[in-house]
Amino acid sequence: MQSLKYKKFHIDWVLVNELAISKAPKNIYDIEIIKKNGIVSILSLCSISEAQPPEGLDIMFKTRRIILPDHKYNRDMTLLEINNALDLLSELREYGPVLVHCLAAVERSPIVCMGWLIRNNNLSLQEALDYLMQVHPGTSPLPNQLDLLLKMEKS
């Protein structure tokens, strides 16, 4: 039954009523789920060509987009890109609960949420990873992405 849950759009709260994570919303039904959860802002980490946003998304929510590379790109993510994403997330948090998404919510959005936990909640990399894997099953960042967060934690 659990595998069925993950085929449908759903939101996992990283920090209740503050920070949520999901795969990319695709249609009006996904938008309704986002609205019902009280989310007011959305941070997208993938390109429009990867996941076309549903019509009206930018009207209904405060949105920002920063394109971070995943395993399909020809380059690795940088610490500067993660910090830029966290700065955008911080800006959106001023409006209320934020949804962070990438295409599948496996690499990029978990990395940004873990970065948030490290930078704003003083968790260690291991604590952030363990916690995120509990609240968002399917979290599977790449080793080089985790190395960036380790650098963040140490700085």
Task: Provide the residue type at 155 as one letter.
Answer: S
Does residue 21 surpass a pLDDT of 70? yes
Q: Is 92 left (phi over 0), alpha (psi -120 to 50) or beta?
A: alpha
Total of domains in the chain:
1
Does residue 88 surpass a pLDDT of 90? yes
Q: What is the pTM of this model?
A: 0.93
Its domain, for residue 35, covers 2-154
% of the chain beyond a pLDDT of 70: 95
The CATH number that applies at residue 58 is 3.90.190.10
Q: What is the pLDDT of residues 25-70, one digit of tens each?
A: 999 999 999 999 999 999 999 999 999 999 999 999 999 999 999 9
Q: What is the 3-state secondary structure (H, E, C) of 116-136?
A: HHHHHHCCCHHHHHHHHHHHC
